Amino acid sequence: MNTPGNNALEAFLAQLVASLVVDGAVLDEKLIVRYTTPGFARRFGAPNPVGHCILDCIKGAEARAHVAGMAAALSAEQTSTFGEEPFAGPQPTDLSRCAEGNSTADAECNIALPSDFIEVELLQPEMDVRISPLREADGRAYGFFVQEVPDIGISNMPEQNADRVASTSRESAHRILSQLSNAYWESNPVTGAFEASELWYTLRGYRSGETGIEDHETWNVKVHPEDRPALFDYQRKLQTGEADFVPFIYRERHAQGHWMTILCKGAVIERDASGAVVRVAGTDADITASHSAEEYIRDIARLEQRWLIAAEYGQLGLWDNDEVAGTRYVSQTWRAMRGYGPDDAFDESREALAARTHPDDRASLARQIDATVNGNTETVFQEYRERHRDGHWISILSRGRVIARDSQGRASRIIGIDTDITEIKASSEKIFRMSQRLEIAIQATRVGIWDADLAKDEVIWDARMMELYGLDLPPGPIPDGYWEQSIHPDDRDRVLSQSSDVEAGKITFSEDYRVVRPDGSVRFIRSRSTNLFNDTIGHGLIGVDWDVTADVEAADELRRAHALARKRNEELEQARAEMEYNALHDALTDLPNRRFLDRQMKALHGKDHRVAIMQLDLDRFKQINDTLGHAAGDAVLRHVACVMDNLVPNTATVARVGGDEFVVFFEQAPDQDVLAGIAEQIVTELHAPFEVNGKNCRFGVSIGIALGEMPAQTPDEVFENADMALYEAKGSGRGRSVFFSDRMRTAIETKRLLADAFLGGLERDEFFCVYQPQFEAGSLQLSSVEALVRWRRPDGTVELPFVFLDLAEELGVVDRLDQRVLDQVMTDQAHWLTLGLPVPRVSVNVSARRLSDPQLPLRLEKLNIPSGRIAFELLETVFLDTQNPVIAANIAAIRGMGIEIEIDDFGTGHASIVGMLQLQPDRLKIDQQIVRPLTLGEKQGTLVRSIIEIGRMHNIDVIAEGVETADHVRLLTAMGCNYLQGYGLAAPMPEAELREGLRTGSWNMPFET
């Protein structure tokens, strides 16, 4: 039943609930809505205000400027407090709105942070709100609280409330307020009486009405010590009416012992006739979860910011692996140490890490990862090498820890740091090398090392010290008093007189003295020491001793031999002159050396001179050294020096500048004819046999000659020209002299360019095969083909082997060329087989270099070459190396794989028939130089017939190259030659043309047979 009293009570309660119940939103320092109560969110409707700036909802530019000024004041307060930027949350929509409007708004942008609140009107939803700062226990503001300003009709003056709510209704009001969702409480500041709703007790973990806990002293103990001063100040203001409806946050200990965060809000609701406060009411709300999360996020953000700054300055690469999500975070330093910028694409997967890891370190790194993920260890400590983006290796020390595991025990999150220890590793290696050098130096100088620990009165000797003093003991401590007793009696007092000063650290020990060893022998010892001061072992000595007996005896002998000072000075000068002489001359031949020449030519600097230089290099000198020994080689060098000294004019300088290299330097160059005559005499004289230990040594000499005009040319340039001429002499047959010409420089440059192009061609795969058929001599049916290499240059030019084969040998890459040909042959044979074509045997040239490769059999086995499909053509000169065990073993292995052996260009080399029989080839190929003249006369035919007969006698088939005419075919067939090859039958052809011939069986021979 509605009565005026009940209606007044309901209105009173509605207004009181609106004013006391905590219903609103929390803003961060940037005025972004972080969270709201459900009631406040409902007022806003959609969209939810969380994440939006409150400025977007405030009515009026001046009000927005005032609120923006509050945010600016809070940021300034935080910066001055921490000396760093505050936690960077989402930015407000536009704080610059504080500048809108007029100068009044501009001024308010710089207002100080208010201590209580300000009230503004919102546009959407339409309501008046109160914005007040949220402060921590130390008074520092960290955000704002927003709540609706209720339409309050309640007065604090009792005479104004008397007509609205009868005193008999107070008990009913209290019961209704006790049912609020927030904990309701009332207190009387005068009597100290305190009443609270059931929720107020259960909020704190107690039963409703439990006595004692509302006692002020008991409650005071439960408040967090850091919050007590601020809370008591708030209570004081609340009881005097200075904090009506102002929220306050503090921490209070729950009955179960943990801290909870309370949002309190109260107001004076009754005063007596004199105006004194007699009743205060309010509500408490538990905001532990939201407030703790907010504070935790802010604290973690600050800690994270400080840690990241420290890590970046400390050059620590941070990484965070989320094993569940399969994601990985790495810091900029982590990326930078590997050569990547913040925005560079980078594969952070485990597979990519394994690919970047040094092959020798992959297994250990994989074991560390497996142990960490699968629960065998909680820590990561791994040192490994990883390839930098630039290609070089860097050394990484990775340290980390598992911070979470799933229910199966597998790591779900691992965090750690990487440190670039490349320089540390390099320093360690350097120290290790230095220690090795020191050890070698100690061994080389044969010094003994000793170490005296004065605190322990112990002296330790190394093995050399034991040897010096004649002790048959291992390295270690020496018997007490042994050193003192070993000193010669005549030297003992002098040496030991220094002991006290040395042990006190006043002087270092430095003495020469004699020792008497156990066998009675006397040795002269030189000893030096230095003081050691160490916090751990205290004061000690370390020193070295070495045997100077020989030095002392030599000095005594020198003193006896050089009684007169002048005599001694003369001999010293003579010794200096000898040293100077030795420094400028070759010890073996007594000829001037390169240093002598350099000094001689340096003296000509700036002068006008026409000089000449002969560069000489002995031919076959290595064979003499290898077969007759180095003693014979030394005798040859002395012989050469003697010959040249006799033949070269006294005005020229003969010098030995290398192993078998000599130089003749003409400071005043004679005519070119004279130089040519001298060179010819040297070549002739050195070509004659020279007997060493009853054996004849045969060798020759190649000479390069260059003339130069100084100062237009430098001596180095003239030397370089002579060296080019020497290279020309050796390349044109050796045993001759050649003068330098500009053509040589051009030729060398051309060769260099050719070499560059050739190596580039190998890299670009510019080499390919053509095939030249081989036919049976009687039927002219195809029997086999020979694979011949060609080089197609980028401009389309096709080069024949004579252009590049010698260069390939010189560059040491002919084996790569061989492999390229073999690979194409295998591919082509497989293609013919798939087409159903007859697959002929293919002969492939194999260089001596490749035949000397110990790994050749293993490589060939991997190709699975069918038996009888491939034949290797070997040059006749290979016979010279049949005693080489590697070549012999390789040939045997090749035969075992079903690969046949053919001897190419037979009849042009220097091999013996015996060598050929030892090799037992399947076929001999008569060189085309022998076959082509066959039609010119019987004499040439006799040579060809002899080779064919040799083959027939030893069951070796014979192939004739250079068959160009029908007469060649007729004559060779009549002689019994087995197979024919040449342009008269078929020219070398591309694979496609050969394939067509295999298909049709027609070869379009240029003549009728």
pLDDT at 155 over 50: no
- Distance CA(177)–CA(184), nearest Å, equals 7
Q: Choose among 911, 830, 850: nearest CA to 878.
A: 911
Question: Residues 60, 63, 65, CA angle at the centre, nearest 5°?
Answer: 110
Across 507-521, 527-541, 563-577, which has the greatest mean pLDDT? 507-521
- Distance CA(335)–CA(439), nearest Å, equals 41
- Distance CA(626)–CA(609), nearest Å, equals 42
Strand partners, 708: 611
Residues sharing a CB contact under 8 Å with residue 568, sequence separation 6 or more, in sequence order? 558, 562
Q: With beta carbons less than 8 A apart as the criterion, state whether 785 and 843 touch.
A: yes
pLDDT at 961 over 50: yes
pLDDT at 37 over 80: no
Mean pLDDT (whole number) for 13-21: 50
The residue assigned the tokens 């009165």 is 457
**112-121, 531-540, 679-688: least confident range:** 531-540
Across 404-408, 573-577, 692-696, 786-790, which has the greatest mean pLDDT? 786-790
- pLDDT 10s digits, 875-931: 766 654 446 788 888 888 999 999 999 988 776 655 556 667 777 899 999 988 889
- Distance CA(956)–CA(953), nearest Å, equals 8
Question: Residues 199, 200, 206, CA angle at the centre, nearest 5°?
Answer: 90
Mean pLDDT (whole number) for 35-61: 79
Mean pLDDT (whole number) for 195-200: 86
pLDDT category of residue 153 using cuts at 50, 70 and 90: very low
Which pLDDT value is given to residue 158?
38
- Distance CA(883)–CA(892), nearest Å, equals 13
Which pLDDT value is given to residue 428?
80
Scored b (16 or more CB within 10 A) or e, 70-86 reads: bbbbbbebbeeeeeeeb
Residues sharing a CB contact under 8 Å with residue 526, sequence separation 6 or more, in sequence order? 511, 512, 545, 546, 548
Encoded amino acid at 985, one letter: L
Scored b (16 or more CB within 10 A) or e, 287-303 reads: bbeebeebeeebeeeee
- Distance CA(515)–CA(482), nearest Å, equals 11
pLDDT category of residue 987 using cuts at 50, 70 and 90: very high
Instruction: Give just the sign of the alpha carbon dihedral 652, 657, 659, 663.
Output: negative
pLDDT at 552 over 80: yes
Instruction: Give just the sign of the alpha carbon dihedral 948, 954, 959, 962.
Output: negative
Encoded amino acid at 244, one letter: D
- Number of separate helices (H) and strands (E) present in the chain: 36, 37
Which pLDDT value is given to residue 221?
85
- pLDDT 10s digits, 290-329: 665 556 555 555 555 555 565 555 578 888 888 887 778 8
Mean pLDDT (whole number) for 89-111: 39
What is the rounded average pLDDT for all residues in the chain?
Answer: 81
Q: What residue spans of 204-251 are helical by DSSP H?
A: 216-222, 228-239
pLDDT at 844 over 50: yes
- Distance CA(631)–CA(717), nearest Å, equals 35
Most distant CA pair in the chain, distance: 157
What burial class does residue 671 get, using C-beta atoms within 10 Å of its C-beta: 0-12 exposed, 13-18 middle, 19+ buried?
Answer: exposed
- Distance CA(662)–CA(704), nearest Å, equals 11
Which pLDDT value is given to residue 617?
92
> DSSP states of 42-79 as a string?
HHH-SSP-TTSBGGGGB-SHHHHHHHHHHHHHHHHHHH
- Count CB atoms within 10 A of the CB of residue 411: 23
Which pLDDT value is given to residue 181?
56
pLDDT at 106 over 70: no
pLDDT at 87 over 60: no
Mean pLDDT (whole number) for 586-608: 87
Q: Cα 693 to the chain's mean position, in Å?
A: 58
- pLDDT 10s digits, 203-248: 899 887 777 777 777 788 889 988 888 888 888 888 888 887 778 8
Mean pLDDT (whole number) for 606-624: 87
Q: With beta carbons less than 8 A apart as the criterion, state whether 291 and 284 touch.
A: no
Identify the three-state secondary structure at position 152.
Answer: coil
